[in-house]
Structure 1
Amino acid sequence: MSVLLPNMADFDTIYELEDEEDEHVVSEEHLPRYCPEPVVMRGAGHITVFGLSNRFDTEFPSVLTGKVAPEEFKTSISRVNACLKKNLPVNVKWLLCGCLCCCCTVGCSLWPVICLNKRTRRSIQKLLEWENNRLYHKLGLHWKLSKRKCESSNMMEYVILIEFLPKYPIFRPD
């Protein structure tokens, strides 16, 4: 009685099947991924300069339960609020000064306010990116500052969007 053993050199070789059904394989970018709607954190302050409110509410949204600890959420919002608290009063002072001198300077006195507001937005975006890299990307979340239309008027406002990152199917081979 003889037993045929496979050649050990061919044991780990992966062969590509020549089959017509391979053309019907769907790539991963066409697979539907379940991703809930992003959480919108609107400004809750009493002063708004060029769409940027002076603070965001630290109340924990119930949608994030089980995704992030309420303490971490509150710490992140508090960091954003601290940045706004530091920068926005200066913007308001320049805005008042610019409005008083607007007629004499043909509107050029408002440029410092616009530049300061842009710098404030950039610092918040950098802060949110740091938070994302530190914690939220590991938890499947992405925070960003986004411009949205107000619900009550045609004005634009800046909100913090907390997006859920799509989960990739790990059971599919590379």
Structure 2
Amino acid sequence: MSVLLPNMADFDTIYELEEEEEEDEEEEEESSEPEPVVRSQELPRPRDAPDPVVVRGAGHITVFGLSNKFDTEFPSVLTGKVAPEEFKTSISRVNTCLRKNLPVNVKWLICGCLCCCCTLGCSLWPVVCLNKRTRRSIQKLLEWENNRLYHKLGLHWKLSKRKCETSNMMEYVILIEFLPKYPIFRPD
């Protein structure tokens, strides 16, 4: 069970209500029927974070959108946010997981395609299940990396499905999102 708590920074915010009260009085004078006025008050948001960094698959084999390795080249956008060595270590951990699991998936895919006509497509289920297990293990690995290092640096890594740039097919990419910073040192 999750509980949503309000942002603590918004409790001490002082809003100008005079303009809203004047608008309410004008609306009451114009309308002949009294109706309840429901307004949403915009709360101050933390400054907008930049667009996420996308790390695409760089392998030569792709099974159901999951490439056999990701590019280890350090994106220039992350300069000053994370060390290039940490980035390469994280990507190499993901690539190790893929290197361990994806060849098994390819073998099952070939076997499933050969037997597909005889089994009415049921021979492809092991490949689907193995691919799902591989994705979950990568997601767990990225969550471990986030808890270990990246959340402290204001980053969040996740595996996401995106449309390919060159075709209508979908692919899995690693998104590195920037976590918004809340102004905690505002005066009361």
Paired residue for 2:149?
A: 135
Counterpart for residue 40 of structure 1: 54
Partner of 1:51: 65
Residue-by-residue CA offset, 1:13-49 (whole Å, 9 max, x unaligned): xxxxxx994687853xx42522000000000000000
Aligned to 2:137: 123
Is 1:94 aligned to 2:108, yes or no? Answer: yes
Pair 1:84-2:98 in alignment = yes
Aligned mate of 2:125, from 95, 101, 111: 111
Distance in 2 (CA, whole Å) between partners of 1:113 and 1:104 is 17
Secondary structure class of the residue paired with 1:153: coil
| Cα pair distance change 1:20/1:142, threshold 3 Å | closer
Structure 1 letter corresponding to 2:165: E
Query: 2:91 & 2:16 partners in 1: Cα distance?
Result: 51
Q: Distance in 2 between matches of 1:127 and 1:32?
A: 29
Q: Among all aligned residue pairs of Structure 1 and Structure 2, give the percentage whose two residues are the same amino acid.
A: 87
Q: Distance in 2 between matches of 1:172 and 1:46?
A: 51
Q: TM-score w.r.t. structure 2 length? A: 0.77
CA shift, 1:170, in A, is: 1.6
Alignment of 1:135-154 (within 5 A): 135-154=149-168
Q: Say whether residues 1:62 and 2:76 are aligned partners.
A: yes
When residues 112 and 67 of structure 1 are mapped into structure 2, their CA distance, relative to the original with a 3 A threshold, is same
Aligned residues: 154
Contact 2:97–2:138 under 8 Å retained in 1:
yes
- Rounded to whole Å, the distance in 1 between the matches of 2:82 and 2:102 is 28
Give the letter aligned to residue 153 of structure 2: L
1:46-83 deviation digits (Å, cap 9, x = unpaired): 00000000000111000000000000000000000000
SS in 2 for 1:126: helix
- Structure 1: state its 5+ residue gaps: 1-18
TM-score of the aligned structures, taking structure 1 as reference length: 0.83
User: C-alpha distance in 2, partners of 1:48/1:124?
Assistant: 15
Amino acid in structure 1 at the alignment position of 2:183 = P
Which residue in the other structure is 1:72 paired with?
Answer: 86
Q: Residue 58 of structure 1: SS of its match in structure 2?
A: coil
Q: Which has the larger radius of gyration?
A: 1
Aligned match of 1:172: 186
Partner deviation per Cα, 1:123-151 (whole Å, 9 max, x = no partner): 00000000000000000000000000001
CA-based RMSD:
1.9
